[in-house]
Amino acid sequence: MPQFGGAPKCPRCGKSVYHAEEIKTQGQSWHKMCHKCSLCNKMLDSQNVAPHEDDVFCKNCHGKQFGPKGYGFGMGAGTLSMDSGERFGLKMDPSRNAPSTAEAYVSADLASSACGRAADCCPRCGKTVYMAEKMIGANSSWHKKCFTCFNCNKRLDSTNLSDRGGEIFCKACYAKGYGPKGIGYGVGAGTLMAD
């Protein structure tokens, strides 16, 4: 069908789009008010538009509608599920969801052969660490799920991390296990006195 007047038609409303109200997405011209998500009606711009076939979506709705499906997807890369870590014959401690101390060191040897030399291997579970779930501590790459204190299983980040012997600890557990001992140190760092 020929376009009379030379103005392109908006894919949403079918009316002519003139230059003053035009937004282009993948070669199509949209009215500013028609350039919104098909599911949630959020107004879109070049930063948050995700075109699909002849329609546009916000990136969030596009991911929910057309992204990967299954357990662990849909809430972001931080929630990707991992299996239990029994691939290398590790017995998991159910109270901490981590291998026992003796098995943790054995798992590192097994993991290096299973992951391959080029891949990053998680010291806690012995599986390959991919970029979407990578945390770095104690000169190793860890899964976000495994990036927890060795003693209390508290989630860690770069601000509350201490390492010793290839394992990672929260500041409190590290201080209890490896901090200074003696009179005056049991109350906390706020009460220490120096001469």
The domain segmentation of the chain, as residue ranges, is 19-59, 79-178
- Picking from 27, 9, 6, the residue whose alpha carbon sits closest to that of residue 17 is 9
Instruction: Give me the pLDDT at residue 64, please.
Output: 84
Q: Which CATH number fits domain 79-178: 2.60.40.10, 2.10.110.10, 3.40.50.10320, 3.40.50.10680?
A: 2.10.110.10
Q: What is the pLDDT of residue 27?
A: 85
What pLDDT score was predicted for residue 166? 85
CA distance 93 to 87: 15
C-alpha dihedral sign at 162, 168, 172, 173 = negative
In tens, the pLDDT along 99-146 reads 444 444 444 444 444 565 556 889 888 899 888 888 888 888 889 999
pLDDT at 149: 92
pLDDT at 59: 87
In this structure, the number of other CB atoms found within 10 A of the CB of residue 182 comes to 6
Identify the CATH assignment for 19-59 out of 1.10.3720.10, 2.40.37.10, 2.10.110.10, 3.40.30.10: 2.10.110.10
Low-confidence ranges of the chain (pLDDT < 50): 1, 75-113, 195
Phi, psi of 119, rounded to the nearest 5 degrees: -90, 150
